[in-house]
Amino acid sequence: ADYNKSVEDRLTAVCEFLKSSVDYYNWVGFYFRNGDKEELKLSSFAGEPTDHTIIPFGKGICGQVAVSNKNFVVPDVKAQDNYIACSINVKSEIVVPLFLKGENIGQIDIDSHAVDPFSEEDERFLEFVNEKVAEIL
Ligand code: SME
C-alpha cells in the first residue's frame, strides 16, 4: 500500500470510484473554498476536464451551495437560471456541501447525462461520503 498518497490523490480515487460505481454519475469532483477568498477552487475530479476551476460564491449551483450550506439537487439543468454549463451532455446535477468541524469548506459536485436521476438515497450517500472525506483532510 502507498501510505504517502497525497490528499488530492485520495480524493481522485474517491471520484473515480464513485464515477465507475454509479452509471448516472458522469462527472464527479470536489471543490473547496480557495483560502480566504469568496470563491471555490476545483480540487480532484473524475471525468472530462472543465474550464470552471474557479467559481465565485453565489454563482452557479456550486456557488449557491457555498453560501446556502444546503444540498442542491437539479433534476433538469435547463430549468435553472443561475447555472454554469460545463458540458452540453450534462442534464442534471447534485451538489452536497462538505463540513469540517461544522464549517462548510467545500462540496462534492456530480453531473449526470440522465434527466432527474438523483434521489434522497444519493443525498444521504453523498453526505456520508463527505463525512468520511472530512476525516482525511
Ligand atoms: N454546473 C456547476 C459548475 C461546475 S461543473 O458542473 C463541473 C454549477 O452550476 O455550479
Which CATH number do you get for residue 89?
3.30.450.40
CA distance to 55, 87, 117, per residue, from 32 (Å): 10, 21, 25
Residue 5 confidence (pLDDT): 74
Residue 101 belongs to a domain: yes
Residue 2 belongs to a domain: no
**Over pLDDT 90: what percentage of the chain?**
96
Structural domain for 33, as ranges: 7-134
- Ligand 1: centre distance to CA 2 (Å): 32
What total of structural domains would you count in the chain? Answer: 1
Residue 47 belongs to a domain: yes
C-alpha cell of residue 125: 450517500
**ipTM entry:** 0.96
> Cβ(62) to ligand 1 under 6 A?
yes
Phi, psi of 124 (to 5 degrees): -65, -40
Most informative mutation of 57, 61, 80 for ligand 1 (most atoms within 8 A of CB): 61
* Model confidence at 94: pLDDT above 60: yes
- What is the pLDDT confidence band of residue 31, given thresholds at 50, 70 and 90? very high
Residue 1 belongs to a domain: no
Residue 118 belongs to a domain: yes
C-alpha cell of residue 17: 470510484
Residue 90 belongs to a domain: yes
Most informative mutation of 27, 62, 72 for ligand 1 (most atoms within 8 A of CB): 62
Say which DSSP state 101 is in: T
* Model confidence at 2: pLDDT above 90: no
